[in-house]
Structure 1
Amino acid sequence: MFNMGRRILVLLLIIQKATGQTTTSTGAPTVASANCDITCMSHCDCSSKGLSSVPQYLPTFISSLLLDNNAITTLNQSDFSRYSRLNWIILNHNHLTSLQADTFAGLINLWYLDLGNNYIHIIEVDAFLNLPSLQELILSHNSLHVFPLTVYDIFANIPTIDISNNPWQCDCRMLPFKQDMTGVPAFEKQIRCAGPANLAGKSLLYSVDAEDLNCSSFSLPVFLSSFLGVIGGILLTLSVFLIIWCRNKTSKTSPVPAPDTHVTSGDRDQTGHDVTETGTAESDDVERGSAHGPDPYGLDLGYRIVRPPLPPIPGAEP
C-alpha cells in the first residue's frame, strides 16, 4: 500500500508538470511552479537545464530535487551535504559512470533515489551506506555488468529496487553473489545474463548453476592486459640488470692514476756548488745493468755510495 501511494504521487507530479498546474488540492507548490534557483520552496525542478554538476545555490531546506535530463557526469559527497532534508532525488538520463563511497552520506530522510538511464558501471563500497529511510532505488538501464557483493546486504534491506536492463556478465565474478542468492529479494529475479554467449538471456537465479560461472573462456581484453603486464615486468627487470652491469663495468675500466716517478735529487759538483739533477727513478737492477755503469765519482740516484776502482799495481801486467 505504501509503495502504491508513492507511485501515485510520482504520477501526479508528472501529470502536473505536463499540464502546467501550479498547485495541488492542498495548496502546496507543484512541479510547474517550482524553479531552479533560490526562489524555489521545498521542491526544486532543475530538469533539462544543461547542468554538469549539482547546483549549490538552492535553498538548504528543500525536500525534493529533480535533476533529470542533464549532463552530470560525477557525484561527490559535497554535492548533497548542504541539502540534508532531501527525501526525493531524481537523476535519471544523465551521464553518470560511477558512484563513489558516501555520495549520499548524511541524507537520513532520503527515501526515493532514481539513478536510471545512466552509464553507471562501478558502485563503490558504502555508496548507499547510512540511508536508513531509503525505500526505493532505481538503477535500471545502466552499464552494471558485475553485481557488487559488498552492497548485497544493503540492497536486501531496501523494499523496492530496480536493476533490470543491465549487461550482466555471468562469469566467475558473479559466483559469490550467486551463492548468496535466496530468491527472496525481488531484485534477484531481475538479473538476466548478457554474456558469455552460452548464458545470454538466461536468468541468473533460475537458469544458471554455480558451476556455469567460470572465467575459463578466452577473453581478448583479459589476455592482452595479462600479456602486457608480463612484458612490462620483464622489461623492468632487464633494465635494472643493465644499469647494474654498466655501473660495474665503468668502475672496473676506470684508469688508476700513475704514481709520480719524477725524482729530483741534489748534489755538489767538484767545485762545491750545488747541482740539481732531475731524472726518473729506476730500480737497482736496471741501474746495475746500465751500459755505461755507475758514476765512479758521484752518488747514484738511490743515494748509495759507489766505491771507485782500485789504482793499478805497479809492475803488474795489464
Structure 2
Amino acid sequence: STGEIIWALISILLLFTVSGCPQECRCNTALKTVDCRAQELKEIPTKLPYETELLYLQDNKIQVISHTPFITTPWLKILDLSNNSITSVSSKTFHGLHHLQVLNLTNNFIQHIENKVFNQLQNLHKLDLSFNRLLSLPESLGDNIKNLTLVAVHHNLLQRIQRVLLDSLSNLEVFLFKDNPWHCNCEVIGFRLWLESFLYRGGTIDEIVCFSPEDLKGKDLFKVPYEKYRTCSAISSSFLLANIKHFSSDPKGINKHLHHDEHGDGSHSDCETKPKPRPVSLRHAIATVVITGVVCGIVCLMMLAAAIYGCAYAAIMAKYHKELKKVEHLAPAIEQGSAEEKEPLDSSLA
C-alpha cells in the first residue's frame, strides 16, 4: 500500500541519516570510531553513526553544546572534547550515554557545571576537567557514578571541595588537584582529613599548595600544623586532635558546619573560638560511667577483703605470741621442781 511504501522510505532515510558519516569527519566502521579532530568545528556534528563507540572532537572551536547532542550515539565509550572553547555544560549534555567510560573536557573555558550533568554516566571511569576555569564542582558528582576511579581538576580556580562530594566517590583511586588557589582556612579541615584517609587507603594525589590566607601562601597543605586550626569554629579542637590519626566517622556533620560557615554573613573570623560541643554520643558516655563504677566497686571490694584478711592475721599472730610468752614464763619453774625431786633420791642412795 501507499502507507507502507512511505514508511519504508522514511525508515531508509532515517537509517541513512543515523548511519552516515559527517563530511568533516573520518569514520571507521570496523573500529566504530569517528575522528573529527582539528576541523575548526563550532558545534558538535549531527548524523553521527549510531554504533559509534569512540568519538574524537578535540582541537576545534566548539563553544556551545546543543541540547542532548549525543542522543543518536548511545553506545559511546570514549568522548574527547578537549582543546575547544566550551564555557558551560548543562544537565542534558550527556543524556543517554549510559556506556561512556572516558570523558575528556580538558583545556576549555568551563566555569560552571550543572549539578546533575554526570548523573546518567553510571559506567564512567575517568573524568578529566583540568585546565578550565571551574570555581566549584557539582555536589552530586559521585551520586550515581560508582565506578569512577580517576578525576583530574588541576589548573582550575577551585578554592575548596565540599566533603559530601568527596565521600560520594567511594571507588576513586586517583584525584589530581595541582595548581588551584586553595583557601587553607578552617573550611579546609574536612578536605584534609578526607585526603589523609584517601592516601591511607592507597589513593594517589598530587600536591596541594595553599594560596590563602597570606601567612600560608605557597605552603603545602599537609605541612600546615593542625594547631593552626585548634580554635576553628567549624570543629572543636578536641574533635580535631582525635581525628589527626583517624578519619572522622561523621563526615556529614563536619560538612554541615563547613557549609554553614561558607554561606554565612562573614561577620565572624575564620578561627573564632566557640563553646565546646556536646558529646557526640550520650549512650557511650553513660556506658563509660557505668563501666568505671563497676571497676571502682570491684577495686573497693578487693581492698576491703585485704583489710579483713590483714586484721584477722594480726589477731592470730598476737594470740600466738601471747601464748608463747606464757610458755616461756612457766619453763624455769618446771625445771626447778624437777631438781628438788631428784635430791632425796640421791641422798638415799648415798
Question: TM-score under structure 2 normalisation?
Answer: 0.49
Aligned 8 A contact 2:106 2:130 in 1? yes
Tell me which of 197, 210, 223 is aligned to 1:193: 210
Post-superposition shift, 1:204?
Answer: 1.4
Indicate the structure with greater helix content. 2
Distance 2:143 2:109 in 1: 22
The answer for the alignment partner of 2:312 in structure 1 is none
CA distance in 1, matches of 2:203, 2:221: 13
Aligned equivalents of 1:45 and 1:86: distance in 2? 13
Identity of counterpart residues, as a percentage? 23
Can you list the C-alpha shifts for 1:58-78, whole angstroms capped at 9, x where unaligned?
A: 432222211112222222221
Whether 1:171 aligns to 2:188 is no
- Structure 2 equivalent of residue 161 of structure 1: 175
- Please say if residues 193 and 204 of structure 1, whose CA atoms lie closer than 8 Å, have aligned partners that are also in contact: yes
1:44 and 2:63 equivalent?
A: no
CA contact (8 A) 1:163 1:187 kept: no
Residue in 1 that maps onto 2:316:
none
Which structure has more relative contact order (CA 8 Å, sep 6+)? It is 2
For residue 73 of structure 2, what is the amino acid of its counterpart?
T
Choose 1 or 2 for highest CA Rg: 1
Query: 1:156 offset after TM fit, Å?
Result: 5.5
2:227 is aligned to 211
- How far off its partner does 1:152 sit? 2.1
Amino acid of the residue matched to residue 211 of structure 1? Answer: E
Measured after TM superposition, the shift of residue 31 of structure 1 is: 6.3
Aligned to 1:86: 100
Distance 1:149 1:172 in 2: 13
Contact 2:146 2:170 in 1 (8 A): no
**1:116 match:** 130
For structure 1, which runs of at least 5 residues remain unmatched after alignment?
Answer: 1-20, 217-221, 228-318
What's the counterpart of residue 97 of structure 1?
111
What is the alpha-carbon distance in structure 2 between the residues aligned to residue 36 and residue 118 of structure 1?
Answer: 23
Aligned AA (2:220): S
Deviates more, 1:123-132 or 1:112-121: 123-132
CA contact (8 A) 1:147 1:177 kept: yes
Q: What are the residue-to-residue correspondences of 1:263-302 with 2, within 5 Å?
A: none
TM-score by length of 1: 0.54
Q: Once the 2 structures are TM-superposed, how far is the Cα of residue 129 of structure 1 from its aligned partner?
A: 1.7
Contact 2:101 2:124 in 1 (8 A): yes
Contact 2:79–2:103 at 8 Å: present in 1 too? yes
Partner of 2:155: 141
Q: CA deviation at 1:36?
A: 4.3
> Which of 73, 77, 102 is the aligned partner of 1:60?
73
Distance in 1, matches of 2:187 and 2:103, equals 31
Q: Quick one: distance in 2 between partners of 1:210 and 1:172?
A: 10
Quote the Cα distance in structure 2 between the aligned partners of 1:119 and 1:159. Answer: 24
Distance 2:95 2:33 in 1: 24
- Aligned-pair CA distance for 1:33: 7.1
Residues 1:202 and 2:219 aligned together: yes
More displaced, 48-57 or 109-118?
48-57
> Please, which moves more after superposition, 93-102 or 55-64?
55-64
In structure 2, do the counterparts of structure 1 residues 142 and 67 end up closer, same or farther at CA, with 3 Å as the change threshold? same
Which stretch has the larger CA shift, 84-93 or 36-45? 36-45
Query: What one-letter code is carried by the residue in structure 1 that aligns with 2:209?
Result: R
Shift of 1:177: 2.5
What amino acid is the match of 2:156?
N
* Residues 209 and 31 of structure 1, relative CA distance in 2, 3 Å threshold: farther
RMSD: 3.2
